Amino acid sequence: MNHAVCVTQVDRAGLADFLRSRRARVRPAHVGLDVGQRRRTPGLRREEVARLVGMSVDYYVRLEQARGPRPSRQMLGAIARALRLSDDERSHLYYLAGEVPGPPTGPQQDVRPGVLHLLDRLNDTPALVVDAKYDVLAWNPLAAALITAFSALPPDERNVIWRFFTDPSARARHDPEGARRFASESVADLRAAAARYPDDSGIGQLVKRLLASSGEFAALWTRHEVQVRRSARKQLHHPAVGWLELDCETLHVPERDQWIVFYTAPPGSPSAEALRLLAVVGTQELGDTGEHLAMPEETHIRGDAPSGNG
């Protein structure tokens, strides 16, 4: 399908089939509903979807019967959220309803299983996954040893930019020039993310919290500078092994707008030896439990570390 074409025709039959199939896929527990003992199907009921969306049951039933009115863009967005559609599915929903999709609603926080497997296999390289607003979504044990134990932090504290601008100990891990560079580049990157996801409440709330908590962030935010995350050379201080000079490489996962961040050191260098030592004793030093975290609100991985430029 050509996304540049202005779609005006409503595919009522296709929309009805798509809604029924997506509704059957969503489990009540996924949206905070009680399963109950008399439920005949594993998916959501029509009335439950209508309640989640904020529309009448009759309106939603008519949509699934291919005879309803054309949903508004606001209604389509609510349906996409209620049915937990992916970005691709959300776009498909809009096209079926005769609308051109708007920008994605917000950064995705589910990490691909293959990426999690990759992190588990990296025994000698600190690595983590961050989303567009610098929330740390997954990390391996050596990333925990290098920076801090994210599993010990509340989910809303597992954000690299928030920690840098509000926790002096996190900022002190950088050398002065590196701290200055990370401050400006991370704020510019966050502003770029805010433009990509103008309707995302998570980014808006993060910016509001930072504006209220950090004068430095507020000053940088008013510059309106924009810069997407890049790989970099950085110096980080660890309380047990001292200063490390590391290459911070970032790989983009475009379909989720996530970044896999690797911290490496040249073989045989003092920093490589320090990482080897941290692989043995670092997590015990920091008190991390060594759990594996896939997503902030569900399981527990190990670790922490700044993202791309962090």
What pLDDT is recorded for position 290?
39
- Lookup: tokens for 65: 């019967």
B/e letters for 122-157, b = 16+ CB within 10 Å, e = fewer, are beebbbbbbbbbbbbbbbbbbbbbbbbbbbeeeeee
pLDDT tens digit sequence for 174-216: 999 999 999 999 999 999 999 988 888 899 999 999 999 999 9
- Measure Cα distances from 115 to 13, 51, 74, 118, 232 in Å: 37, 35, 34, 5, 21
Kindly list the domain boundaries of the chain, sorted by start residue.
12-96, 113-286
Contact 249, 242 (CB under 8 A): no
Q: Which of the four CATH numbers 3.90.105.10, 1.20.140.10, 1.10.260.40, 3.30.499.10 does domain 12-96 have?
A: 1.10.260.40
Q: CA–CA separation, 97 vs 11, rounded Å?
A: 6
Rounded to the nearest integer, the mean pLDDT of the chain is 84
pLDDT tens digit sequence for 213-254: 999 999 999 999 998 877 888 999 998 899 999 999 999 998
Place of tokens 């954000």: 159
What pLDDT is recorded for position 6?
54
Residue 287 has pLDDT above 50, yes or no: no
CATH code that applies to domain 113-286 = 3.30.450.180
- Measure Cα distances from 66 to 60, 81, 96, 184 in Å: 10, 21, 11, 52
What pLDDT is recorded for position 27?
82
Q: Which residues pair with 207 in a beta bridge?
A: none
Q: CA–CA separation, 36 vs 42, rounded Å?
A: 11
Residue 304 has pLDDT above 70, yes or no: no
Residue 154 has pLDDT above 70, yes or no: yes
What pLDDT is recorded for position 310?
45
